[in-house]
Amino acid sequence: MLEPSNNDELPVIPGKRYFTIGEVSELCAVKPHVLRYWEQEFPQLKPVKRRGNRRYYQRSDVLTIRQIRSLLYDQGFTIGGARQQMTTDSKPEELVLGDVVQDMIRELEAVLAMLKS
């Protein structure tokens, strides 16, 4: 999952259902030709193709692209290493968010305990 520090430099993902390749390019700070290349290299990326073979990405695709971008650009993985990391690290988003919520609850309980003493 993308680390929170890296999310600060990328724009917020709007609440749309589908995004064009140009929109995803801006949201993830990656050129469109790089996105098309990553589709060949990462089986997790499967945008919907409609009229005239136009690509339409969903929110989950944008999150996956941000994760790939983080692995390649921020953490220094190669394409092969990032692909391997994505397959071994493929926890469903709901589970990852659940882990984050559990961590926050534990931290808040610790702060509450400190305030009570």
pTM for this entry: 0.68
Residue type, 62: V
Separation between Cα atoms, residue 42 and residue 86, nearest integer Å: 8
Q: What would the pLDDT profile of 19-77 be if each residue is shown by its tens digit?
A: 999 999 999 999 999 999 999 999 989 999 888 889 999 999 999 999 999 999 999 99
Q: Are 74 and 89 in contact (CB under 8 A)?
A: no
Q: Which two tokens stand for residue 33?
A: 């030709």
Q: Could you say which DSSP state residue 57 is in?
A: B
Query: pLDDT tens digits, residue range 79-115?
Result: 999 998 888 765 555 555 666 777 788 888 889 988 9
Within 8 A by CB and 6+ apart from 53, the residues are none
How far, in Å, CA of 36 to CA of 115, rounded? 52
